[in-house]
Amino acid sequence: MKDITITRKRIKTELYVFLGCVVAMELVNAYAIADKNGKWSELFMSLGYVCVAAAVTYVVLAVIRLVVGAIWHKARGKDRRRNRY
């Protein structure tokens, strides 16, 4: 069986995408606090919720990226399966 290797570039890309999700969810949290005139201490107290929301956002983005990548791959005609007949 062939081993699967994940390159350093792919790991860094995925970490940057997840970090972007965390920052985006933290900004949404800050907006909600400012909009509802809440205490700014909630920005740190709700960090667990922010991480869960970031993980859900990351999974949704991963699914979207996989679907778009598959469509793009098929549109370009690079199918990995070769016709051996």
Q: Is the pTM of this model over 0.85?
A: no
Average pLDDT over every residue of 33-61 = 95
Q: Which residues neighbour 39 within 8 Å (Cβ) at sequence distance 6 or greater? A: 33
Residue 74: pLDDT above 60? yes
pLDDT at 79: 55
pLDDT at 77: 78
pLDDT at 84: 53
Cα-to-chain-centroid distance, residue 17: 5
Residue 66: pLDDT above 70? yes
